[in-house]
Amino acid sequence: MAASSSSFSFSTLLFLIGVGNICCVAWSASITLENKCAYTVWPGSLSGNGVALLGSGYSMLPPSATAILQAPPGWSGRFWGRTHCTFDDTGAGSCLTGDCGGFNCTGGGSPPVTLVEFTIAGSPTVDDFYDVSLVDGYNVGMGVRATGGTGQCQYAGCVNDLNTNCPQELAVADGTGQAVACRSACEAFQKPEYCCTGNHGTPDTCSPSDYSRMFKSSCPSAYSYAYDDKTSTCTCAGADYVITFCPTQ
């Protein structure tokens, strides 16, 4: 991934048709990853619309490190953090949480994993969409801050450490018995009422559960279950973004 930096910028791509005639302007958003955890995080990324992975789908961020990516116009995808990882010199290895097939991700992060999801509009006057999601569970705190944009541009994040009070039936533990991730009720129990599938596949038939309410209480601006749209989807036009692991706000 790109070298560490504390700044980020908007890059403008001008497409000219004819001499001196500007037909359109497309915008690529700068996405800065920063690690405020006391431990190393291996960010993973996955593109959702056939576009190449940003930064080859991986990055290694020691504490206090940053990395900058450029999301092309129209890009959509997700980011997550991998923890407790071990890799050899060839990139082979695995992570206890958020594993994605090696040092270079070959797929999405294995649940339970906290997700940051984006749809970049590619225009300074059209809203981007972004959110922090706990629908696939939780493994590390994440936050998203929009900078330089217009519109609502809300902060999205899960600041509280859900691993510390994860119910035993949802907890994923390391070799010492310490919880390192918290599964969603859907992943843990595979029931339609938790997964919003089958007869529970619409907003009217899939309601919050006691487990999703627990997630929502701890992280009010994050998706707690599949249809938690009203309080969890954020919008901003013409912005750059900062994704923080272990945010403090």
192-231 pLDDT tens trace: 999 999 999 999 999 999 999 999 999 999 999 999 988 8
Collapsing DSSP to helix, strand or coil, 214 comes out as helix
Kindly state whether residue 42 falls inside one of the protein's structural domains: yes
Residue type, 196: C
In the 8-state DSSP scheme, what is residue 175? T
CA atoms 78, 97, 165, 246: torsion sign: negative
Global pTM value: 0.86
Residue 51's domain spans which residues?
30-245
- Taking only the tens place, the pLDDT of each residue in 96-106 is 999 998 888 87
Q: Is residue 20 part of a domain?
A: no
Q: How far apart are CA 147 and CA 153, in angstroms?
A: 8
What is the total count of domains within the chain? 1
The chain-wide mean pLDDT, for the chain, equals 86
Residues 6+ apart with CB under 8 A from 73: 13, 26, 27, 28, 120, 121, 122, 123
* Domain assignment of residue 116, yes or no: yes
- Domain containing 38 — which CATH number? 2.60.110.10
Q: Are 54 and 67 in contact (CB under 8 A)?
A: no
Residue 15 lies in a domain: no
Asked whether residue 236 is assigned to any structural domain, the reply reads yes
